[in-house]
Structure 1
């Protein structure tokens, strides 16, 4: 059983740990959100203060702003390697995903098959799972495609599902907890060959690997700016030419009638600049090579220093930003509380609260036990993470592990 410090509440356990509160904070939760890039912040402040007009209006300053929005659309399009006309701005990743699911739902009404199928892997983001469950409640057949212990998709099970008829498939390109990269080779062709549609949740992709949208062949692809040093409250859905599309937001004719509502001008311009920076990181490669070296240092030190520790997804292709670390016998929320006192910000592979830990569905789907899933940290770095910060995290996690084991 995992360490719970004699079943003491988390707050009491933390009272056993005393450290200075003046240490500089290390942020290692970039998969949750990222700091705003200085170039993005500067551009957004300028827009908020100087270019606050409604870009849909007819007067010159509004038209100038509309031109800047189209420039940002072009920047996002270049990041993804698509035409600018395929980019529809949304309020974030969840809305983009919802738009894809609504479009698929109305597409499904015209299918001869009853009920239509929606398929997703067992390691999808909660937003995807929620929308799929909503389709199931409205009569769709929900098919869960398992993954292997490595986190890799079971392609055979997907093929078996497609043999039963057209299907709307939603897959996460890079997993938000483990960083495992989904092997998408040939998937779109297989889905389209069966008369189906493909949505990719690519929220964790920009700046980490190339957005190879043309090769992936998805009908819909979702993005969120705050995952790649852009602002919160803005995202995009990329819609393949010819794919069925139904607006989620109704009202005015913004976004060529594809998404109603006054445009979030500052957010859109900020997302454009963030997209340009993310593309540059991947193209140049230096920052990601440095992240890969830091990931190697972090993981090798923790595996050597913690008996029985495990890196989830290590056997599969992964992005260099993400480390999913299982520390057997010590619940993640206790380690995180200890790290808080050291000025280290990270997260768990589970949903934490002061008195309850829910095991991560993603890790359970990968065959981990409930105990191990509850004892897993997610350490996610960004391009600004330094070697010194990684050394502090290594020392902090090792100290937390030794201290908490001694207290158990």
Structure 2
């Protein structure tokens, strides 16, 4: 074994032992652990802010972008938001033990599917120190043990947040090893986690495209992730013009750097007001890259090339195309989409239903902004990420997404003939 394999194996053994305890803990005990963890975050405010200041100084010296520094920064209000989010998870309904369905066979056997924790979850993430708290809280509330590996740029912040939360968990009588942090910033530790099938049950990456691509390419452990957020909004010919304008501007410009931001706008060629729609976007500060028909509508647009339709900009840039109805919009999404979030704006119920049925996306929306693609907005509390795959969990992954199920069969002495 290499040094990093030994490290991950040690973390994994401790996590397995902790999982045996937290998976059987009562809902009340897990909730109390998270309330105490939130209290420790508040009590340790100055330690956490000092640690974050060190990360910020190092980040500036490394030349991190303003956007990266903003994601990294913690001040007193942000720390309070982190603590409040942990408290919010503590009051969410505990999924462990929920009966998904129940049937009784003709021979009297009663068969139930019951939610159980996934096990040991490895979470690999970048930049945002709040993920340390969110992931640890969601993992514990759902009865799992987590091994956290944050980005090197946030190592001091992550250590301070992790230590505070771990203290709260221990104070509640649960094992601190239920939430462990990889203390090294060496990238080889990530590689060891991705291959630790004996110790880790699932890996969840949360970060940029290069991180997620690496995890998906190298992992032998099952992965729950999304690679791109190439989200589309299709404005149908029967769209309400006021709704279309407000939705499109919000979907692109509210926050351009999140995975739910619109990256491509598709406009029906029979929609009566495409010009004002483009003007509203450009006036809001968005660069519009369009096809020939779009470029004729506003001289401030620029030509889109083939790669634009496959690009997650995460910036105030938008690709726009005119299409011949809902079917061509669906065809475009099928070729260029990433199965994340796609939207139709229309007052035609038949067109809306056709789009909803046919769009092969984790989240499909009608007459609203793709910026709602967020676990908190879905009423799920903190989210650990958005899954665009087909297996296990899809869309915002929160408590329920961190469980699986087992069958429980109850009899009264039946034997199989």
Asked whether the two chains share a fold, i.e. TM above 0.5, the reply is no
- State the TM bucket, normalised to the shorter chain: under 0.3
Of the two structures, which has the highest relative contact order with CA contacts closer than 8 Å and spacing of 6 or more?
A: 1
Task: Identify the structure with the greater strand proportion.
Answer: 2
Higher-Rg member (1/2) = 2
TM-score, normalised via structure 1 length: 0.23
